[in-house]
Amino acid sequence: MSPPAMVCHLCGRAAHQVCTVCGRPFCPGHGGLRLYCEGSGQGGHVVTRALCDDDTPNQWFLANRYLVLLPTVAAVALVINFGCIQPGKERRDREWHQKVQEQHRDHQEFRRRAAFDH
């Protein structure tokens, strides 16, 4: 009285698991515990699920999603850095130069007046 043997829907051999997406059984050669992206956008997250080959997403991309995201984040950070912070820094530098020149002028004015007094 054993339950009917499951057979892989891809090759017809004895299956050991059932795909959690399509519900079809698969053998060790045509599926297994794999990364799967659940949800989408902000709510999306990667989980490990029993999947057949038909429903297996790109494992490399899911496993390396941070490696893929990192350069993107770095590029955005660079754009923000050059787009927003640098002009602000230039303005600060300009203001500082102006202040130094004003002080220099004041100093010259003081010296000229001191010379005039003598």
Binding interface with Zn ion (CB under 5 A): 8, 10-11, 19, 21-22, 27, 29-30, 52, 54-55
Report in angstroms how near the CB of residue 48 gets to Zn ion at its nearest: 15
Report in angstroms how near the CB of residue 28 gets to Zn ion at its nearest: 8
Closer residue to Zn ion, CB minimum distance, 11 or 67 = 11
Please enumerate in sequence order all residues whose Cβ is within 8 A of that of 44, keeping only pairs 6 or more positions apart, or say none: 37, 38
64/118 Cα distance (integer angstroms): 78
Burial 68-91 (b: 16+ CB within 10 A, else e): eeeeeeeeeeeeeeeeeeeeeeee
- Could you give the residue ranges of the DSSP H alpha helices within the chain? 59-63, 65-80, 86-117
Report in angstroms how near the CB of residue 18 gets to Zn ion at its nearest: 9
Closer residue to Zn ion, CB minimum distance, 12 or 41 = 12
Report in angstroms how near the CB of residue 57 gets to Zn ion at its nearest: 11
Closer residue to Zn ion, CB minimum distance, 7 or 46 = 7
DSSP code of residue 23: -
Closer residue to Zn ion, CB minimum distance, 21 or 37 = 21
